[in-house]
Structure 1
Amino acid sequence: MKQQVLVLYLATSALDSQVVGWANYDGTGRTSPTTGDGDVPPYESGVHALRDGWRLFQASQLIPPYPGQEYDTSFMKHEFFFEKLES
């Protein structure tokens, strides 16, 4: 079995919210390079990825902003990791 990994950054912590960023890693060797790029996200939401057979295996911890830092720029906090296993 070989693993494909899909990282989706969503607009909110809800799995059905809009994808705002993504990364795709293909461990099967079928694509080169192993990461995808483009202007259009591979899915509209995390739920759409689930419906296409991706398995959710990690979601980022929800951490509230510290008082006074609500509008600071930082990492994308609504990160979800998915995988597909291929023969």
Structure 2
Amino acid sequence: MSALRQQILILHLAQPDLESRTVAWALYDSSKPKGELQMQTGDSNVPPYESVLDAMRDGWFVMQLPTMPVFLSGHEFEQGHLPYEYVLERKVTVE
């Protein structure tokens, strides 16, 4: 019997443009059996997709767009979270 499972992909881009390069990512995969590692972080040198648009071409759906950051005068160069985070999802069939 087959079942539909969800995968969530989080891509952080260098710029807000959907074709901008991926700088960090995480993949949560519920199609894997319980007990098996569910999350894959961006710990390799090669991201799963070069951009959000590349992921969309491969069947991923964008669920969330980033809120554009507000840079206050005098604080433009402070470190913080990665501002251009996109959340994508797709459904896969498991046997």
Query: How does the TM-score come out when normalised to structure 1?
Result: 0.92
Q: How many residues align?
A: 87
Match of 2:49 among 24, 29, 43: 43
- The one-character-per-residue Cα deviations of 1:29-70 (angstroms, maximum 9, x if unpaired) are 259311124221000111000000000010110022111110
Consecutive unaligned residues of structure 1, counting only runs of 5 or more, are: none
Give the match for residue 13 of structure 2.
10
Superposition RMSD in Å: 1.5
Give the match for residue 90 of structure 2.
84
Indicate the SS of the match to 2:12: strand
Consecutive unaligned residues of structure 2, counting only runs of 5 or more, are: none
Query: How does the TM-score come out when normalised to structure 2?
Result: 0.85
Specify the structure having the higher radius of gyration (Cα). 2
Percent identity between the two aligned chains? 33
2:27 and 2:50 map into 1 onto residues whose CA distance is 15
The list of structure 1 runs, each at least 4 consecutive aligned residues, that deviate by more than 4 angstroms after superposition, is none
